[in-house]
Structure 1
Amino acid sequence: MVPRKSGAFDSIVEREQGLRQGLSAGQMTMIAIGGAVGTGLFLGSGFAIGFAGPGVLVSYAIGALIALLLMGALAEMTVAHPTSGSFGAYAEHYIGPLAGFVVRYAYWSAYVLAVGTEVAAIAIYMKFWLPHVPGLYWIVGFSAALIAVNAMSVKAYGTIEYLFSSLKIAAIVAFIVLGAWFVWRAPASSGVGIANYTSHGGLLPKGWWGVWVGTIVSLFSYLGVETIAVAAAEAKDPARAVTRAFRATVLRLVLFYLLTLALMLAIVPWTEAGGNESPFVKVMAETGVPYAAGAINFIVLVAALSAMNSQLYITTRMMFSLSRAGYAPALFGRLTPNGVPTAALSLSTIGIAVAAVLNALWPQAAFTLMMSIAMFGAMFTWLMIFVTQIFFRVRRARDASAPLEFRMWGFPFTSVLGALLMLGILVGTVFTREFRMTLAYGLAFLAVLVVVYALWYRRMQPATRAQESL
């Protein structure tokens, strides 16, 4: 295979022109929070608690550290090169075309399937009110509404996501305040309090291996923070928006996740918090506050819709980038007058169809199955972001490039640490019963991508010229 010359990064930016710059810094922050505060927290945390017990706090702390390192690496590259192809475009330019091809498709496939986890979760949440209505009805109805929103314009998407995320943040703050008050006022004989951290098998009832498995789920919860980088191409002031969103998002996510989990474990013993139901709903039911369980179930429903909305946006832009790079048919790189790649959006709804089928055939296992498969592409992408940033720094040092507007602290140690942690978690999935499919599916998928790339490469040069003429 003959390597293709990358050329200046400006050529990548130019071929991805046409998207509207309609997102504010505030909307960028909310988009990142909307992607990361969703089913992973409101439903996935229950599975993580089941794996790690109270040690889930350590699991989510490790996940927060990785997310923090990732955001630093990504913000550094994004401020230098704001484009919708984002980390896929960076991998193409700084590592090679094959890397860009694989990263984009791995990430796209992960989020296509992640959309399926959100709609599978929606079917679970709706059973709280209407247990006898088939989940398929909710999957189709809510999916159609969000597809319509994404087909309008980036401004419409940003507005809806801002509202969704604002509601989630308000609800989480209310949960923290109410939970703290409930724990503070609970009598010693109530079974509520920090004693729950150690009264059911100790702080680490499943040992350190349970904590590590819980970390795998925690990463699924944090996935979505990288959407800031993809959305940067449609921000009004990319450099300011990315740096502001980076700082605000990391702080809020760490506080939201760790505080809510700490309160949750204090109110309900970890042996009762896990399972195929949102632990948030269980906790609110335990407080005895009228209608609290119903209210929080509405919030977790909104959270799933918000995350799904964000994921549809991300998969659409990644497919758009693939098309403009010559790695997908030209149809997916075309824009409507409103600046929306609707063909790419249509293709990115595949995960909804998969979730609908799984929910119809195996309603109890649909969410965990979708999550285990979706996680590979996302975790592989996170690993490659750290690797790409190392190449990015080496290239800039070699070329004596202009100083960076935003620099990640502690380089190269922070980037190497992030890459090693991600590699360890990916390899660790092999030794778990619940996520054994993750790496098996992922390696097979990567092999297929490499073969497809090798066969496609002979005609990619003329295809790329055709894309750039759009």
Structure 2
Amino acid sequence: MASFNDIQQRERGLQQHLTSAQMVMIAIGGAVGTGLFMGSAFAIGFAGPAVLVSYAIGAFIALLLIGCLGEMTVAHPTSGSFGAYAEYYLGPMVGFVLRYAYWAALVLAVGMEVTAVGIYMAYWFPAVPQWIWVGVFSAVLVGVNLRSVKVYGAVEYAFSAIKVAAIIAFILIGSYVVFGAPAPGMGLANYQVGGGFWAKGISGMWLGVIVAMFSYLGVEAIAVAAGEAQHPERAVQKAMKTTVLRLVLFYLLTLALMLAIVPWTEAATQTSPFVRVMELTHIPYAAGVLNFVVLVAALSAMNSQLYTTSRMMFSLARAGQAPTHFGRTNASGVPVAAILISSLGVAVAMFVNAFWPEQSFVWMMSIAMFGAMLAWFMVFVTHLAFRRRRNQEGQAPLTFRMWGFPWLTLLGAVLMGAVLVTTAFTPQFRLTLAFGLPWVLLLAIIYMVRHKK
């Protein structure tokens, strides 16, 4: 391949309608969803109050990722994103395996988010089977994605705006409850309940990082959306600089207040700990309102992930690595077939919900996280090759550059590798590598067989 321009020309056909504000909301939409509102309960169960350290470590890794991915995206804005970068800088087989692994991860993540939708709807309608809600809401969001990227961007902006407003309201209410007029059993003293801040030790805190990482997964959607941004270079820089800061504030402040209101031993439940907090504040209708917010959060994350995974399939098709009809767009610039095939996770979610409703969420989360974590790990590896190639070719430095290169890029790769390895020793997440490693091996074999022919 002579230059990266060949890939960018190959992936033309999508329409550039997304603004930088919408791109920020797309990233928040993907990263502030079930991982925060429901997954945080699992992280608290692992780490206790030290879950704050777990999420701080996750935020640091996300910050490093944004730095590496941002630099490559400013140089090469395209919907194939890190999959296309891996293809060009590490080799076609790496790009093939990475895109399919990530595509499968997000297909399952879509199913996981809509699984959470069924759980949230059970708060109001406990007698209705969860799989019915899975089907209804899935049909609506697939319809939104099929309209146009402009409609998708507007809906995602609205979803994310509701989440941001709710999180800000939660922070204000929580601050008043904890510091303004604390009720009995509420306050910073709850950090010492059940064994203190380090109740689960350093090992428990590190296990919490696994869930924290899953919570932050989705910020990479900015890079994928760059291929449909109005002014990609400017939009990417603005979006990436503000997204991580907002995510860190949202995650750490909300978790810190939640643990002060509810002892961590009560927050580590199977339902959203945020709804539990609102129940304890005794504010009229607060719990029901927040349940609506976490429902919107799950729908928003699902909407963002469906968008991202469909563009990854579009990129594969344009590279000749998937059936050509997945790379076609309609008059509105929408890859219809890619969206429909990327909705498979909904079918998986409906099946799992129908037969194993209690285990469905953890199963879907543990399997889905492999491909996304692999993508993050490979972003750091690709960035090393990207910068080395640019230096060899004597290209001028970009306006957006990863700081502390190569040491911080290497640190990001080491931390992500360590998180992935840790899943093998965690009973709740043993499916992550048990599913992921054979899947990657199968993809590599498929690639070699196809190209040998």
Runs of 4+ in 1 over 6 A off after TM superposition: none
In structure 1, the partner of 2:107 is 112
Tell me how far apart the structure 1 counterparts of residues 182 and 430 of structure 2 sit (CA, whole Å). 43
In structure 1, the partner of 2:352 is 358
2:65 is equivalent to residue 70 of structure 1: yes
Cα 1:452–1:296 change in 2 (3 A) is same
Tell me how far apart the structure 2 counterparts of residues 451 and 239 of structure 1 sit (CA, whole Å). 37
Question: Could you tell me which amino acid in structure 1 is paired with residue 89 of structure 2?
Answer: Y
Alpha-carbon distance, 1:305 to partner: 0.4
2:433 is equivalent to residue 434 of structure 1: no
2:164 is equivalent to residue 138 of structure 1: no
In structure 2, the partner of 1:55 is 50
1:25-59, Cα deviation, whole Å (9 max, x unpaired) = 10011100011000000000011111111010000
Matches within 5 A, 1:409-424: 409-424=403-418
Q: How many residues align?
A: 453
Contact (CA 8 Å) 1:186, 1:192: kept in 2 or not? no
Tell me how far apart the structure 2 counterparts of residues 237 and 214 of structure 1 sit (CA, whole Å). 38
Alpha-carbon distance, 1:440 to partner: 1.5
> How many percent of aligned residue pairs carry the same amino acid?
63
Matches within 5 A, 1:139-158: 139-158=134-153
2:164 is equivalent to residue 169 of structure 1: yes
* Alignment partner of 2:41 out of 41, 46, 51: 46
TM-score relative to the length of structure 1: 0.95
Question: Could you tell me which amino acid in structure 2 is paired with residue 373 of structure 1?
Answer: I
Tell me how far apart the structure 1 counterparts of residues 180 and 324 of structure 2 sit (CA, whole Å). 62
1:166-203, Cα deviation, whole Å (9 max, x unpaired) = 11000000000000001113447x11111111121111
Tell me how far apart the structure 1 counterparts of residues 334 and 53 of structure 2 sit (CA, whole Å). 41
Matches within 5 A, 1:33-432: 33-187=28-182, 190-432=184-426
List runs of 5+ in structure 1 lacking aligned partners.
1-5, 460-470
1:229-284, Cα deviation, whole Å (9 max, x unpaired) = 00001000001100100011011000000000000000000000012100000000
Tell me how far apart the structure 1 counterparts of residues 268 and 151 of structure 2 sit (CA, whole Å). 36
Tell me how far apart the structure 1 counterparts of residues 41 and 398 of structure 2 sit (CA, whole Å). 41
Tell me how far apart the structure 2 counterparts of residues 213 and 123 of structure 1 sit (CA, whole Å). 27
List runs of 5+ in structure 2 lacking aligned partners.
none
CA RMSD across the alignment: 0.8
1:447-467, Cα deviation, whole Å (9 max, x unpaired) = 0000000011145xxxxxxxx
Tell me how far apart the structure 2 counterparts of residues 279 and 437 of structure 1 sit (CA, whole Å). 25
1:305-333, Cα deviation, whole Å (9 max, x unpaired) = 00000011001000000000011000100
Alpha-carbon distance, 1:403 to partner: 2.1
Tell me how far apart the structure 1 counterparts of residues 98 and 188 of structure 2 sit (CA, whole Å). 43
